[in-house]
């Protein structure tokens, strides 16, 4: 099932942990609808801007998967509203900056980006709720803590 022109449901649901632990990480209708909103509003525009496939490290996480990886069950990943991703060959700060400056989103987080480890270190977390309810919150999270805005961009 395709969520948008270049983003499939399968890549938003895939989880190595779920496979290994035999967790059924299948989203329900509402969670799929949320994933589709996220794909259309954020993932697909990013794909088109950089003209390269996204690598989605984690999209939807069912409650059992959240528990298995130590993520809160209130996480937006569980609602189908968030994805962690990157684009191989494109610096994560450049992708985050494009999202911040051009797209509507709920929360954008540049996570564990370390310039000393290379521009592809870390990943981008982005969530989408709805155009009325998006908070447009931009954060950087790294080993030193959580900071407002995109640090070092």
Judged by beta carbon, residue 64 or residue 84, the one nearer Zn ion is 84
Longest dimension (CA), the chain: 42
Instruction: Tell me which of 8, 17, 84, 120 binds Zn ion, using CB under 5 A.
Output: 84
CA atoms within 13 A on the CB side of 116: 1
Among 125, 126, 129, 140, contact with Zn ion (rule: CB under 5 A): 125
| Other C-beta atoms lying within 10 Å of the C-beta of residue 100 | 17
> What is the token pair recorded at 126?
């982005």
Indicate whether 78 belongs to the interface with Zn ion (CB under 5 A).
no
Q: Classify 95 in phi/psi space as left (phi over 0), alpha (psi -120 to 50) or beta.
A: alpha
From 15-23, 27-35, 79-87, 112-120, give the range in contact with Zn ion by CB under 5 A: 79-87
36 touches Zn ion by CB under 5 A: no
Residue nearest Zn ion, Cβ-based: 125
The least distance separating Zn ion from the CB of residue 77, rounded to whole angstroms, comes to 6
Number of residues assigned to the chain = 153
CA-only gyration radius of the chain, Å: 15
Nearer to Zn ion, 9 or 110 (CB): 110
What residue ranges bind Zn ion (CB under 5 A)? Answer: 84, 125
């Amino acid at each position: 099932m395709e969520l948008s022109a270049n983003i499939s449901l399968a890549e938003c649901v895939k989880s190595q942990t779920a496979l290994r632990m035999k967790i059924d990480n299948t989203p329900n209708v509402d969670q799929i609808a949320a994933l589709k909103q996220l794909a259309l509003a954020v993932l697909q525009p990013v794909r088109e801007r950089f003209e390269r496939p996204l690598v989605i490290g984690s999209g939807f996480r069912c409650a059992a998967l959240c528990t298995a990886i130590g993520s809160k069950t209130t996480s937006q990943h569980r609602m189908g509203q968030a994805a962690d991703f990157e684009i191989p060959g494109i610096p994560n700060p450049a992708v985050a900056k494009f999202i911040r400056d051009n797209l509507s989103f709920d929360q954008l987080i540049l996570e564990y980006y370390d310039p000393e480890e290379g521009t592809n270190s870390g990943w981008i977390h982005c969530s989408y709720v709805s155009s009325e309810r998006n908070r447009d919150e931009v954060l950087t999270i790294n080993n030193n803590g959580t900071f407002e805005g995109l640090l070092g961009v």
